[in-house]
Chains A and B, each alone.
Chain A
Amino acid sequence: MRTAAAAEWGATARSFSLAGQGAQVLHVRHLITAGLLWVVLTAVGELLVIADLYPTVGSHEAQDFDDIFRFLLLLGVPVMTFVFAVLIYAGLQFRIRTAVPAEDGPAMRGHGWFPRAWLAVTGCLAIFVMIYPGLTGLAELQQGDRGASGWGDQDAEVIIKASAFKWQWLFEYPDGTQVSVAAGKELVLPNETSIKFEINAIDVVHSLWIPAFRMKIDAIPGRTTYVTVKPNKLGDYASDQAYRVQCAELCGLDHAAMMFPIRVVEPGEFQSWLASLNQGGN
């Protein structure tokens, strides 16, 4: 393996009409300059990690999502900029300026240690990302409940039944109060309380997505899916459009308009709101 690598290096060196050592120095200089370009591009690219790319953080789950997203950016940017750096550097440094190529490049065939090292590094990166944040995050989301279909803790403080139909939502609180475009006109949720949505579809496949909570699961005819969220910030649709239940699975004509406003309030206010809705002759 070592000799193959050495032979390769030698072939590279010989192909220049310089003395072997001179070519090697030149090669090292290319490596260093391209490496510096990589570092610069990475430094610029990593600005994405600190940039605010996200909707409002409205729940603990949303905070987790943003952290994982930033972590993947942190890892992904150098991979991307490595490819960019080599392409840009090679495009600028190795291009020929004659009308047609007058000579061939060195016959580096890629035997030896380099492809193996590449395989090892990319393999480790893939397996690392697979385990963290992939499988660890998944375990947290599924809470070990392997037969169910949904995200988060099955035991929640408030359970809301959500029915999806073409092209709106109907929500039912534990006390039987229903809200929809016809009644209530907004989904009010208590802050810092775990809320489980049990989701059904009447007609076709829909999907319940709340951008502020970064959570989504499909509503399927004939099955019940669930998603549990714990809001951590007061907010409402009128001032922040991330507070909405949005259908995220194409469901026909008015799919784009299948949206329902959310308002997150303090638990006390939530109770009085619920009571007021019941008094309103619901």
Chain B
Amino acid sequence: MHALKSVAGAAGLGMIGFYLGLGFVAVLRAMLGYPDAWGGEINIVGGYVLGVIGWLMGIGMWGTWSREWFGLKTYQRQAPGWQRYFTFNTDHKVIGIQYLVTFVVVFLLAGTIALGMRLELASSGMQFISHSQYNGAMGLHGILMIAVAVASVIGGTGNYAVPLMIGADDMAFPRLNALTFWLIPPVAVALLATPFLGGIETGWTAYPPLSTTTNSSQILFDLAIITFGLTSILGGLNFLITIIFMRAPGMTWGRLPIFVWSMFVTSWLALLYTQGFAVALLMIMLDRVAGMAFFNAEAGGDPLLYQHVFWFYSHPAVYIMVIPGFGIALEVISHFSRKPLFAYRYAVGAFLGILGLSGVVWAHHMFTSGMPNYLHGPFLVATELISIPTGLVFLSALGTIWMGKLWLQTPMLFAMAVIFNFACGGVTGIFLADVPTDIHLHDTYFVVAHFHYTIVGGEIFALFAGIYYWFPKMTGRMYNETLAKLHFWWMFIGFNLTFFTMHLPGVKGMNRRVADFPESLDNLNMLVSISGWLLGLSFLVFIYNMINAWIRGPVAESNPWRARTLEWQVSSPPPHENFPEQPVIKGHPYDYGVPGSVHGVFPNAIASAPAAGTAGGGQ
């Protein structure tokens, strides 16, 4: 009842705000003498802004936060049990689960769209959908999956695990944290509404002049992504402050779990670069609604300007996606190999190296864009250099499993698959970084295969490693290991069949973002489509396992993985303030096999606490 009241009330306020905004702009336009007071895209902008504000106030920001601005007393709505996930809750554990569930749902939705696309692409010619529908589906698949890749690991596992792993009782700015999550539903609504305004025609990259002249769905896309960028920036800021100032006593930078390091680096990337995408889309919006001409060549603008601004964010974005993936993979690999993380300092150095280089490689997406010739060399060099820090991640992963005691539970299988897949994604990246090969391969299915290997293979596999790894901690219940392994092997085989094969039509001459292709590529595409469906169906096992385990699974122990980091030293799920008392850090989190080593201790060990005394000692 609470949940329904909370969400329905917020949606109602959002609708009221939306229509007020539309009307307000219409009145302004009528007063200024425009012929069509209701017809402009600027009406949608006004409606969206007031709609988002109405939604946020309704969901609980008013009571929890905004009343304070007017000198009123704040309060937090208390909803029992599962219903708290539908309120403006400031507990980072609740927010983490909100993010995870939301983005798993979005992932499945966008994946279903992909299955529809593969159905059309199974053979040449047009069978099921029109060009226009295909473009809309492709754009929606792209942008929804980008959202999943940016926010699922950071917002989900990051929010849940980081405060626990550093011994903090919450994030630095809990209300800001809740705000970043509750800005997501308007983004989802706006994106899912795009088909009703004609569908996204431009892909997720929205290159002008196409995006400045296309149908009005573009304006929803712009607004949604600017909002989404805001959540990314605020989230990044929150993580940085949390990690810098809220570490438990003794948690030095050299003892920070590698996943926390990856979140630290990622947060810098999100904070520094996200405005690139927002600014690029703001300029598109100004071109559309305010008659500006940033990208209109006839009026003195330049279409290439957009591509530079856009990729200035969107290349670092792939590291925003994949570095937390590396973080989870290395974290899991160390615990499940029962060995210290090999070359820990080099792994941290790798993340920092990627952080440093990520800002100077963007134009490798533009080698065939017609940018001046003198730009290609420097970007080729910087791009090849970034493979050096990336190689150190492999050093750390492979060094850790070598001679380890590998406990091949599902999280470990997914973590090893991250390394496996990224090896392929990394090597195919060389072909795209070298200009002579990129000229042919750019904008073909080779690129599509490459980035699915890096993002799905590198990050989404890590997301699943993280979901299985922290599932017992989050829910207090254990999933079914047999079904989880079935899901892993099914997904792993389906993924590799689909995307390894997909390189071939690319080299053979199939460009991306097309609903139709030459008949000579029929066999390869049929194979990709069948494998894609195989991959898609694997998630049914996952959904069943998760729902079933969450409702009926056996009760989980506080530390089912015998891991040493702090989150496993408290009950599953942890108490509201995370730790019964402030933990103190005495040693490295990964000192497996070191006699007498400890990571965290609770100095005044409370008798009832699940991990009294030393926590996570070496065995």
Partner of A126, one of B387, B398, B401, B504: B387
B439→A248 contact, CB < 8 A: no
Within 8 A of A (CB), among B426-479: 427-428, 430-431, 433-437, 439-440, 442-444
Within 8 A of B (CB), among A111-166: 111, 114-115, 118-119, 122-123, 126-127, 129-130, 133-135, 137-138, 140-142, 145-151
Partner of B401, one of A86, A135, A212: A86
**Chain A interface main SS type:** mixed
> Would A217 and B368 be within 8 Å (CB), given that A104-B618, A106-B593, A248-B443 are in contact?
yes
> Would A53 and B504 be within 8 Å (CB), given that A90-B401, A105-B593 are in contact?
yes
**Which A residues are CB-close (under 8 A) to B28?**
none
Closest to A90 in B: B401
Q: Residue-by-residue, is B389-410 near A (CB-CB < 8 Å gives 1, otherwise 0)?
A: 0011011101101111111100
Least distance between B439 CB and chain A CB atoms (Å):
5
A72→B372 contact, CB < 8 A: no
Closest to A56 in B: B509
A80 at the binding interface (Cβ < 8 Å) = yes
Partner of A15, one of B208, B507, B593: B593
> Would A110 and B406 be within 8 Å (CB), given that A65-B436, A122-B391, A256-B517 are in contact?
no
Q: Chain A: how many interface residues by the 8 Å CB criterion?
A: 94
> Would A220 and B342 be within 8 Å (CB), given that A79-B427, A253-B201 are in contact?
no
B416 at the binding interface (Cβ < 8 Å) = yes
Least distance between A245 CB and chain B CB atoms (Å):
12
**Which B residues are CB-close (under 8 A) to A123?**
388
B392→A118 contact, CB < 8 A: yes
Q: Residue-by-residue, is B262-299 near A (CB-CB < 8 Å gives 1, otherwise 0)?
A: 00000000000000000000000000000000000110
Alpha-carbon distance A242/B428, docked complex (angstroms): 22
B407→A110 contact, CB < 8 A: no
A126→B373 contact, CB < 8 A: no
A107 at the binding interface (Cβ < 8 Å) = yes
B508 at the binding interface (Cβ < 8 Å) = yes
Closest to A99 in B: B407
A54→B430 contact, CB < 8 A: no
Least distance between B138 CB and chain A CB atoms (Å):
9
**Which B residues are CB-close (under 8 A) to A54?**
507-508
Interface-located stretch among B157-165, B229-237, B238-246, B376-384: B376-384
A87→B401 contact, CB < 8 A: yes
B303 at the binding interface (Cβ < 8 Å) = yes
Closest to A65 in B: B440
A103→B338 contact, CB < 8 A: yes
B578 at the binding interface (Cβ < 8 Å) = no
Within 8 A of B (CB), among A48-86: 53-55, 64-65, 68-69, 72, 76-77, 79-80, 83-84, 86
A274 at the binding interface (Cβ < 8 Å) = no
**Which B residues are CB-close (under 8 A) to A103?**
338, 405, 619
Alpha-carbon distance A6/B604, docked complex (angstroms): 41
Partner of B213, one of A109, A127, A204, A246: A204
Number of A-B contacts (CB under 8 A): 303
**Which A residues are CB-close (under 8 A) to B424?**
80
Least distance between A200 CB and chain B CB atoms (Å):
10
B547 at the binding interface (Cβ < 8 Å) = no
B210→A83 contact, CB < 8 A: no
How extensive is the interface on chain B, given as a class?
35 or more
Least distance between A263 CB and chain B CB atoms (Å):
16
**Which A residues are CB-close (under 8 A) to B381?**
130, 134-135
> Would A253 and B436 be within 8 Å (CB), given that A54-B508, A103-B338 are in contact?
no
Alpha-carbon distance A72/B432, docked complex (angstroms): 11
B592→A255 contact, CB < 8 A: no
Least distance between A223 CB and chain B CB atoms (Å):
6
A110→B516 contact, CB < 8 A: no
A221 at the binding interface (Cβ < 8 Å) = yes
Least distance between A8 CB and chain B CB atoms (Å):
10
> Would A126 and B509 be within 8 Å (CB), given that A86-B398, A205-B303 are in contact?
no
Alpha-carbon distance A167/B7, docked complex (angstroms): 45
A107→B619 contact, CB < 8 A: no
**Which B residues are CB-close (under 8 A) to A212?**
509
B516→A91 contact, CB < 8 A: no
**Which B residues are CB-close (under 8 A) to A129?**
384, 430, 434
A256→B419 contact, CB < 8 A: no
**Which A residues are CB-close (under 8 A) to B201?**
252-253
A141→B439 contact, CB < 8 A: yes
B509→A94 contact, CB < 8 A: no
A87→B398 contact, CB < 8 A: yes
A107→B342 contact, CB < 8 A: no
Closest to B438 in A: A216
Least distance between B292 CB and chain A CB atoms (Å):
16
Partner of A72, one of B209, B342, B431: B431
B369→A95 contact, CB < 8 A: no
B131 at the binding interface (Cβ < 8 Å) = yes
Partner of A104, one of B392, B399, B508, B592: B592
Alpha-carbon distance A86/B591, docked complex (angstroms): 23
Alpha-carbon distance A122/B385, docked complex (angstroms): 10
Least distance between B363 CB and chain A CB atoms (Å):
13
Partner of B342, one of A64, A65, A94, A109: A109
B370→A101 contact, CB < 8 A: no
B562 at the binding interface (Cβ < 8 Å) = yes
Closest to B346 in A: A115
Closest to A85 in B: B398
B416→A53 contact, CB < 8 A: no
Using CB atoms and an 8 Å cutoff, list the residues of chain A in contact with chain B: 12, 15, 27, 30, 53-55, 64-65, 68-69, 72, 76-77, 79-80, 83-84, 86-87, 90-91, 94-96, 100-101, 103-111, 114-115, 118-119, 122-123, 126-127, 129-130, 133-135, 137-138, 140-142, 145-151, 203-205, 207, 209, 211-212, 214-223, 225, 241-242, 244, 246-257
What are 20 sample pairs from A and B whose C-beta atoms fall under 8 A apart?
A: A69-B431, A94-B401, A95-B406, A107-B339, A107-B340, A110-B395, A130-B381, A133-B434, A134-B380, A135-B377, A138-B377, A138-B435, A148-B373, A149-B373, A217-B368, A220-B370, A246-B511, A250-B202, A252-B214, A256-B513
Given contact pairs A12-B403, A107-B339, enumerate 16 new A-B contacts (beta carbons under 8 Å). Answer: A83-B419, A90-B404, A94-B402, A101-B407, A104-B339, A109-B343, A110-B343, A140-B436, A141-B436, A145-B373, A218-B368, A220-B297, A220-B303, A248-B444, A250-B203, A250-B205
